[in-house]
Amino acid sequence: MFKPTVPAFLIALVLSVLSGVPLASLTLDLTRGKTRMPADRAGLPPANQVSQVNQASAYDQGIQAAYTAWQATGAASVSRDWQAVARWWTRAAYAMQSVPTDDPRWLLAQKKTREYLAGAAYAFERAEASESDRVSWTFGSDVIDEKLALYAAHVAAEGVPEIAIVGSSRALQGVDPTTLQQELEQRGQRSVRSLNLGINGATAQVVDRFVREVLPSDQLPRRIIWADGVRAFNSGRPDRTDSSLRESPGYRALKRGDLTIQPDDIDGSSAIRADGFLAIETRFQFDRYYRDRNPVAGRYDGDYANFSLAGEQGEATQRLLDFTQAQGIELILVPLPLTTGYLDPTRTAAEREFRQFLARIAQQYRHVTVVDLDFTLSDRYFEDPSHLNRYGAAEVTREIARQLRF
């Protein structure tokens, strides 16, 4: 499962929200247990006087929260436990920061604030280092498990998302649900809730199985954006992701009819956002990327081996087309872009065949739309030769929003 790499930022964010101090004004060096507040706010109580901490007893509440954190530390073993410990240390630090300057214990409170922040930082680090909690219904992939838990959480909180984004890692980091909603609103269209369900290594078989069998039949979205590339549709390459999914405890439980997914089964510590999107900052640079790796020509690339859009992936695509048509689900197909340097003759020929394949589908099925990305993105919009970064995802998502019709 993806893990956050900057626990200090997470704690700073929590403290910013709790204390009313702007995040930009709160500087933390949690590896050394130091906190620096802006000069005009140092030692002062939060601006929001509707505080959860009673100023008169803030010190005592901080001591009690710290004691609870200390007790929880002794019993912590997995990621979820350590996150609970971090929350208690953060609560203790907030209470101490709320001690008034005229309290004789103010100096002690400031020192304890730094100590408690260091405790929270340590707990976050242990949460990252601990093995993720494995749920009994796991589908053999941390990302699949998390996406299912996110879907359940969205349904419970806001109802079924109107749009689900599916596909491989290229979809996971290539279509941004939040940008989609904002862009639609700016274009005068109504706001729609969407969730990215992209999964690393997902093929047409995985997407078909995920939509038709794994998602609850009474909680299907009205629209599905299937964003991906030719590799996910190539039947000539082994489909290890689908094999792992079919052999997983979760899939077997699903087939037995006793699968129950709860949102709190997942610890939520991955870098995947609440809307299911994985935002990647890295900007692709050809020379730097290939400094330690050799470029592989398309004719030697296993993802393009024995290239065929028929076979098991073609059959899975057909099943999903028929299923979405029967369910009245609009299907939006989005062939995602690649870097120009990656598109050698072999890959270019496969891409051309793939786009013709999608065009034929759109002609045959009235509920299918193909989004034509008729532009070329420079390398700075990619993380690597075939995956978009968040800047490229924003460009692609805006174009999808422009071509969507409601």
Q: Which residues pair with 29 in a beta bridge?
A: 34
Positive or negative torsion for Cα 108, 114, 120, 122? negative
Residue 121 forms part of a structural domain = yes
- Those residues with Cβ within 8 angstroms of residue 127's Cβ, 6 or more apart along the chain or in another chain: 7, 79, 80, 82, 83, 86, 267, 269
Whether the model pTM is above 0.85: no
- Those residues with Cβ within 8 angstroms of residue 271's Cβ, 6 or more apart along the chain or in another chain: 2, 3, 4, 5, 278, 279
In single-letter form, the type of residue at position 319 comes to: R
Residue 137 forms part of a structural domain = no
Domain boundary (82, 102, 129) is at 129
CA 143/CA 195 separation, integer angstroms = 14
Over pLDDT 90: what percentage of the chain?
Answer: 67
Residue 276 forms part of a structural domain = yes
Q: Are residues 47 and 146 in the same domain?
A: no
> What confidence tier does 125 reach under pLDDT thresholds 50, 70, 90?
confident
Residue 269, domain CATH: 3.40.50.1110
CA 4/CA 399 separation, integer angstroms = 30
Q: Which residues pair with 165 in a beta bridge?
A: 196, 225
Q: Are residues 116 and 188 in the same domain?
A: no
Q: Are residues 263 and 368 in the same domain?
A: yes
CB contact burial 16-25 (16+ within 10 A = b; e otherwise) = bebbebeeee
Residue 1 forms part of a structural domain = no
Q: Are residues 314 and 371 in the same domain?
A: yes
Q: Are residues 55 and 167 in the same domain?
A: no
Q: Are residues 160 and 81 in the same domain?
A: no
Q: How many residues does the chain have?
A: 406
Q: Are residues 159 and 307 in the same domain?
A: yes
Residue 135 forms part of a structural domain = no
- Residue corresponding to tokens 């330690």: 292
Average pLDDT over the chain, rounded to whole?
85
Quote the crossing angle between the two packed helices 390-403 and 177-186, to the nearest 10°. Answer: 40
> What confidence tier does 131 reach under pLDDT thresholds 50, 70, 90?
low
Domain boundary (102, 129, 156) is at 129
- What domain count does the chain have? 2
Under a CB-based contact definition with an 8 Å cutoff, are residues 166 and 174 in contact?
no
Residue 198 in tokens: 């992209």
Q: Are residues 44 and 171 in the same domain?
A: no
> What confidence tier does 280 reach under pLDDT thresholds 50, 70, 90?
very high
Tell me what pLDDT residue 262 has.
78
Residue 327 forms part of a structural domain = yes
Q: Are residues 70 and 190 in the same domain?
A: no
Q: Is the pLDDT of residue 260 over 50?
A: yes
Q: Residue 113: CA atoms inside 13 Å, Cβ hemisphere, count?
A: 27
The tens digit of pLDDT for each residue in 134-148 reads 567 899 899 999 999
- Those residues with Cβ within 8 angstroms of residue 150's Cβ, 6 or more apart along the chain or in another chain: 195, 263, 266, 272, 274, 276
Instruction: Give which of 163, 156, 187 is closest to 177, Cα–Cα.
Output: 163
Positive or negative torsion for Cα 205, 207, 212, 215? positive
Q: Quick one: which H or E segment has residue 333?
A: strand 330-335
Q: Quick one: which H or E segment has residue 28?
A: strand 27-29
- Those residues with Cβ within 8 angstroms of residue 114's Cβ, 6 or more apart along the chain or in another chain: 33, 34, 35
Q: Are residues 118 and 223 in the same domain?
A: no
Residue 136 forms part of a structural domain = no
Determine the number of helices (DSSP H) and then strands (DSSP E) in the chain. 14, 7
Residue 296 in tokens: 């592989």
Over pLDDT 70: what percentage of the chain?
Answer: 84
> What confidence tier does 231 reach under pLDDT thresholds 50, 70, 90?
very high
Q: Are residues 52 and 167 in the same domain?
A: no
Q: Which domain holds residue 179?
A: 142-403
Q: Are residues 357 and 226 in the same domain?
A: yes
What's the whole-number mean pLDDT along residues 211-233?
Answer: 96
CA 335/CA 331 separation, integer angstroms = 13
More confident residue, 300 or 37: 300
Residue 311 forms part of a structural domain = yes
What's the whole-number mean pLDDT along residues 212-216?
Answer: 95
